[in-house]
Structure 1
Amino acid sequence: MHTSRLAPSPVAALLRLAVVAVGPDGRISYWNHCAGELFGHHWDTVFGRPAAELLPVPAPPAPVGRPAAAAVRA
């Protein structure tokens, strides 16, 4: 498992934003307290894990000419 850790950013610590950093290998290298609150996982359980296992995949855009609500019901 990946063992290096990013130093906590003073700016990230002050903001009430979820901050997640993913390394070039696709593994989580930084996860702040707000990310834990948002995603429901503590730093110690996510560090070094593949981000694809934990972060949601964005929904594909609605087809052109079709309202987004109709695409969701389809």
Structure 2
Amino acid sequence: MKVKHILAFIIFGFIFNIIGTLFKIQHWPYAGEILTIGTLIKVIFGILLILKILTTDKFKEFLNW
């Protein structure tokens, strides 16, 4: 998986967290589930990003450009 895809999923997780926070403030249903999904997305793809950084030999290859 390329780094730009991993970063896109992390941004997607942040968007889920923002939406979940807005749901929580408004006391709308499913706010907790949305926050949990967003957090899990960020954790999973954050770990993938760390593994990608640790297993890359050269920095230029890490960027996948």
Higher strand share goes to which structure?
Answer: 1
- Pick the structure with more helix per residue: 2
TM-score (norm 1): 0.28
Q: Which has the higher contact order (CA 8 A, sep 6+)?
A: 2
Higher Cα Rg, which structure: 1
TM-score normalised by the chain length of structure 2? 0.30
